[in-house]
Structure formats: structure tokens, C-alpha cells
């Protein structure tokens, strides 16, 4: 091809220069290398004096902290990409390890509400709750029972004062103490009659004891003495012991009523001979 046919062909561009040891120093100085047709000029090579060049070559490469941000000048932005890319191999070859960046927590999704972490339910807390609820339930239950008790009558239930003690033929002559503990009476049978003594001392209301060896009743409280028919003869007792009402029912059994008593007051009329105070035999 004839060279004169294309007099205006541009000259082929030279490839970028291979970065050398002086490349980091140039970038750190903040000055851009003057280039002519993409190649550094002789003036830029002569700007670094031999002593400074030796010092830069012997100095270890600088390590940039991840948290340190250097001031970027206008000249640094003008450094070609090839020069900046050459720093990484140089730092790796010097055995410098960069610190790993801190982990950034994942951001919450948009619109999600606040998450509240509950505490662990320990056995101690469960036991405390059970005690509190048991105390509340006990208080409410007791209050309810007291409310119901208000509507119930305040009565004292005692044995009935009217009861049967069997047939007259079931007893022998003398004093029978079979019903002393249950009904507080003694059944006395003589040759002509049968009666029931109410076992209460006429002094202060104690229960005398029957002393069969002495054939008498003896009060353990103050020493009052009564014969087998309940008539007082010693001690502070003022009068004989009372007798209960007795009668025979349709079956012939003895019916005793301790609600009706016959007395013999001191200096008063004797009620022991009235009908109902005894059963004739």
C-alpha cells in the first residue's frame, strides 16, 4: 500500500507502561505522572533523586487500616487504573493481611413490629404462682363457707331426752349403771317399785360414782354421799338427786324422759311418790 495515500494515519498508541517499584511512591505523593502519547517522559523519571529512590525501595509498604480513610486529592483521582491495580499484588507479595470487615447485622424487614423476647419460665416462678393462686382459692372458699354458715341454725345437738331402756324383767334388784355413760342415768329396782335416778349431784352438778362395795353414790368433786335410792346423807349436797319420768309403752318397754324430773326439795314436798316418778311392780 502506498504511504502517501494516507498521510494522516495516527501513530499506533504505545501500551501502558508496566508498573514498577516506583508506582506506589508516585501514587502516594499525590502527583500524576506527565505522559506524552501515553508514556512517561524523561522529566518524571528524573524527579526522584537516587537517595530518595533507595529509601523508598527499602521502606516496607504502608498498611491502610480498614477504619482509616485517607484524604483523596485531585491528583489521586487521576492515577490510571493500571497503577492502582498494581498495589494489590505488591501488598500481597509483602505478606500483609488486611483485617476482615465487621459483620453488619441484617436489617429488619420493612413493616415488621418490635420483637419482645420473653424470659424463661423457671420452676421457682411456677411454684410461686401456684402458692399465690392456692392462697386466693383458699380465701375465696373460706369466705363462701362462712357465708353459707350464716344461714344455718346455731343449734347444739344432744341425745334425745326420751328413750327406751328395755323391759322391767331385764333388771335385777339393786342399782344398774349400764346407761350411765350414754344417758347419764341409773336404773334402781326395789321389791315394790322401779325408778330412774338422774345422775347429777345436787351440789354443783358433778356426776357421782356408784360404790357397790359401800352401797352408796359418792360425788368425786366435794364428797357428797347418797344412798341407793339417791337420798343424800353426807357432804354439801342440799337435797336428794332428781328422778326421771318413767312409763311403759304398748310393748311393755320402759320409756324414760329426762326432760321431766321429780324433785324432793329440802323442807319441801316429796315428789318421788307421784305417778310417773316410778313404775309399780
List, in order of start, the domains of the chain with CATH numbers: 14-93 (no CATH), 162-280 (2.102.10.10)
pLDDT for position 157: 72
Task: Tell me the average pLDDT of the chain.
Answer: 73
70 phi, psi to nearest 5 deg:
-80, 155
Average pLDDT score over residue span 166-183: 92
Average pLDDT over residues 34-58: 48
Rounded average pLDDT over 98-123: 61
Q: Number of helices (H) and strands (E) in the chain: give both, helices first.
A: 7, 13
| % of the chain residues with pLDDT over 90 | 46
| Residue 198 contacts residue 258 (beta carbons within 8 Å) | yes
Alpha helices in the chain (DSSP H): 22-28, 42-45, 50-58, 81-85, 87-93, 123-149, 180-183
Amino acid at each position: 500500500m502506498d504511504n502517501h495515500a494516507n498521510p494522516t494515519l495516527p501513530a499506533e498508541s504505545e501500551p501502558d507502561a508496566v508498573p514498577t517499584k516506583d508506582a506506589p511512591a508516585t501514587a502516594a505523593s499525590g502527583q500524576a505522572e506527565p505522559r506524552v502519547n501515553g508514556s512517561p517522559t524523561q522529566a518524571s523519571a528524573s524527579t526522584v533523586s537516587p537517595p530518595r529512590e533507595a529509601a523508598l525501595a527499602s521502606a516496607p509498604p504502608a498498611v491502610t487500616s480498614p477504619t482509616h480513610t485517607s484524604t483523596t486529592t485531585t491528583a489521586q483521582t487521576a492515577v490510571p487504573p493500571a497503577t492502582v491495580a498494581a498495589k494489590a499484588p505488591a501488598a500481597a507479595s509483602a505478606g500483609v493481611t488486611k483485617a476482615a470487615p465487621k459483620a453488619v447485622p441484617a436489617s429488619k424487614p420493612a413493616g415488621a413490629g418490635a420483637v419482645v423476647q420473653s424470659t424463661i419460665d423457671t420452676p421457682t416462678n411456677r411454684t410461686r404462682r401456684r402458692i399465690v393462686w392456692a392462697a386466693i382459692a383458699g380465701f375465696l372458699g373460706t369466705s363462701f363457707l362462712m357465708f353459707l354458715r350464716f344461714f344455718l341454725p346455731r343449734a347444739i345437738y344432744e341425745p334425745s331426752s326420751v328413750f327406751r331402756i328395755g323391759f322391767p324383767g331385764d333388771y335385777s334388784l339393786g342399782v344398774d349403771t349400764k346407761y350411765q355413760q350414754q344417758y347419764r342415768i341409773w336404773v334402781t329396782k326395789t321389791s315394790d317399785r322401779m325408778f330412774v335416778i338422774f345422775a347429777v349431784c345436787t351440789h354443783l352438778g358433778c356426776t357421782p360414782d356408784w360404790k357397790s362395795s359401800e352401797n352408796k353414790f359418792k360425788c368425786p368433786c366435794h364428797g357428797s354421799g347418797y344412798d341407793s335410792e339417791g337420798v343424800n346423807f353426807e357432804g354439801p349436797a342440799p337435797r336428794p338427786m332428781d328422778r326421771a319420768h318413767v312409763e311403759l309403752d304398748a310393748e311393755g318397754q320402759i320409756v324414760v324422759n329426762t326432760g321431766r324430773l321429780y324433785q324432793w326439795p329440802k323442807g319441801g314436798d316429796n315428789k318421788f311418790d307421784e305417778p310417773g316418778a316410778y313404775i309399780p311392780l
